Amino acid sequence: MARCVIVGGAEIQDYGYVRGRLREDDFVVFCDCGLRHMEELRVEPGLIVGDFDSHEDPRLDVETIVLPCEKDDTDTVFAVKEALKRGYEEFLLIGVIGGRLDHTLGNVSILLYLDQLGKKGVILDDLSEMEIVSGKAVSIPDRYAFFSLLNISGRAKGIRVTGAKYPLDGGEIRCEYQYGVSNEVLPGGTATVSVADGRLLLIKIRK
């Protein structure tokens, strides 16, 4: 099945980079003020969702779900849940990082939600790419300038990092002491990250 791309309303500066990460068969969901990115991203929405408190309903000839302003789920979380109902298992979230910190942290937690369901989720912004490391090892090519490992779920033990400037074997990262920031892939190589118990947020920084 095609990937679901969810577009939020946070700032995007490098539209060319983001467009280069899109696929022709992506199912694109625009969330409320994420619609402001539609022209620059040059993609047509498959679905529009939102309470339209921050962007006018464009009333396009596209399936649109109008949400109440008072609700538990943010527009972005609702979009993810709706795409899950439609059978999507791979997600790319763009325009969801930056601006209000509460929205940013809430959107990062979507990666944990998807991982818990056994789905693949990635957040992309102008500078970085984020995903969860849990049951499977993740490879990081040297095209990234840095990568960081953060514990955002409360448990991360048996961490192994190879092919990096700062390797680790059997390590533990606690929420209150995030020492896994700004590691580097060895030149010409590929780093590998895994965690035996728990989950980590992997943030890869573009060169």
Mean pLDDT, range 167-187, rounded to an integer:
96
Amino acid identity, position 28: V
- What does DSSP say about strands 120-124 and 27-31: parallel, antiparallel, or unpaired? unpaired
Res 1 pLDDT > 90:
no
Give residue 72's pLDDT band: very low, low, confident or very high (50, 70, 90). Answer: confident
Report the distance separating Cα 6 and Cα 79, nearest Å. 7
Query: Tokens for 17?
Result: 């980079």
pLDDT of amino acid 55:
60
pLDDT tens string 79-95: 999 999 999 999 999 99
Which stretch of DSSP H or E encloses residue 41?
Answer: helix 38-41
Res 60 pLDDT > 90:
no
Give residue 57's pLDDT band: very low, low, confident or very high (50, 70, 90). Answer: low
CATH topology of domain 4-126: Rossmann fold (3.40.50)
> Burial level of 159, CB count in 10 A (0-12/13-18/19+)?
buried
Report the distance separating Cα 93 and Cα 75, nearest Å. 13
Break the chain down into helix, strand, coil percent, rounded to 5. Answer: 20, 35, 45
Beta bridge partners of 18: none
**Is residue 100 helix, strand or coil?**
coil
Give residue 184's pLDDT band: very low, low, confident or very high (50, 70, 90). Answer: very high
pLDDT tens string 10-47: 999 999 999 999 999 999 999 988 999 999 999 999 99
Choose the weakest-confidence range: 49-53, 85-89, 143-147.
49-53
Report the distance separating Cα 167 and Cα 184, nearest Å. 10
pLDDT of amino acid 71:
77
Give residue 59's pLDDT band: very low, low, confident or very high (50, 70, 90). Answer: confident
- Domain map of the chain by residue range? 4-126, 133-206
Res 53 pLDDT > 80:
no
Beta bridge partners of 156: 198
Question: Quick check: pTM over 0.75?
Answer: yes
Give the highest mean pLDDT range of 57-61, 152-156, 190-194.
190-194
Architecture of the structural domain at 133-206: Sandwich (2.60)
Amino acid identity, position 204: K
Res 73 pLDDT > 90:
no
Q: What is the mean pLDDT of the chain?
A: 93
